[in-house]
Amino acid sequence: MADIPEKPIVYIVSDSIGDTAEFVVKAVASQFDSGTVELRRIPFVENKKQIKDVFKEATECNAIIAYTLVVPELRKTIEEEAAIHTVFTADILGSLMDAFSQTTCKAPYMEPGRVRRLDEQYFRRVAAVEFAVKHDDGKDPRGLLTAEVVLIGISRTSKTPLSMYLAHQGVMVANLPLVPEVQLPEEVFWIPPEKIIGLVINPHQLREIRQERLKALGLGDDADYVNVERIDEELTYARRVMKKLGCTVFDVSNKAVEEVANRIIQAIKGGQKS
């Protein structure tokens, strides 16, 4: 056996990038003296020869092999080589995957890099939420052109709640209020119709929603904002705009945000109109 090295040498062997094993190795190393360790990462391992080469090197320098391999054939090769060589190995994922399998009575996917893909989904959701906040209620019309979905509708038709729900699904959403007296930004006419979703609602239900909103703000319900004639005027204007844009229109009356959001996702996926 080779001489004991001044500091531990650990080969990180993975069929993905090896971040998980490196984190665990560093955590363990921190429990010993200075916590220094020499890491030699071998990522994206996909054949037996790579593993055999690692064992040869590890034997020569008295190193440890820590591995995160999910492909059964590669895991078996590690076990076979470990039985031949006098090298310590640590299976970072194996025992825990076995525990999960026995507890859930399900087999693991055996797909390298799933954690990284899950992380990418998380960061996409974060970016989508930030995008929705930045482009809520017509702020920064330039964002309409980069959005995956643009929601349009008059006040209190669930534009913001829908935007946030969709953002948490990883969808980049902008929303634009429709007000008869306010000119539409020219960007809205440059967007493909299939990316625009118009939201309408029963006028009497909208009046009740707006009344509750005014009460929450400590205001009376005699404002033009809750006037039925005014609401009808706004809805007529909104439908006219939606027809001009040729977009999909959803009636949100008595519907939960989740229900409407799922319909929107299906609509944008299929490019369908209703």
Per-residue pLDDT of 69-104, as tens digits, reads 888 889 899 999 999 998 999 988 877 776 777 777
Domain covering 9-112 assigned CATH 1.10.10 in the classification: no
d(CA 144, CA 202) in angstroms, rounded, equals 27
The answer, yes or no, to whether residue 112 has pLDDT greater than 70, is no
The answer, yes or no, to whether residue 12 has pLDDT greater than 60, is yes
Per residue in 242-257, pLDDT (tens digit) is 999 999 999 999 999 9
The lowest-confidence range among 32-46, 95-109, 110-124, 241-255 is 110-124
pLDDT band at 108 (very low <50, low <70, confident <90, very high): low
Percentage of the chain lying above the pLDDT 90 cut? 55
Select, from the ranges 55-69, 113-127, 235-249, the one with the highest average predicted confidence (pLDDT): 235-249
d(CA 70, CA 78) in angstroms, rounded, equals 11
Per residue in 136-188, pLDDT (tens digit) is 999 989 989 999 999 999 999 999 999 999 998 889 999 999 999 999 999 99
pLDDT band at 274 (very low <50, low <70, confident <90, very high): very low
Query: Which pLDDT value is given to residue 118?
Result: 53
Beta bridge partners, 152, equal 176, 198
The structural domains of the chain, with segments of one domain joined by +, span 9-112, 118-270
pLDDT band at 106 (very low <50, low <70, confident <90, very high): confident
Same fold flag, 9-112 and 118-270: yes
CATH number for the domain whose boundaries are 118-270: 3.40.50
The answer, yes or no, to whether residue 272 has pLDDT greater than 50, is no
Query: Which pLDDT value is given to residue 273?
Result: 45
pLDDT band at 34 (very low <50, low <70, confident <90, very high): low
Mean pLDDT of the residues in the chain = 87
The lowest-confidence range among 12-21, 100-109, 232-241 is 100-109
Beta bridge partners, 199, equal 153, 250
- Tell me what the mean pLDDT of segment 127-141 comes to: 91
Burial of 104 (0-12, 13-18, 19+ CB in 10 A): exposed
Query: Which pLDDT value is given to residue 1?
Result: 46
Query: Which pLDDT value is given to residue 21?
Result: 85
Per residue in 14-31, pLDDT (tens digit) is 988 888 888 888 888 888
d(CA 60, CA 51) in angstroms, rounded, equals 15
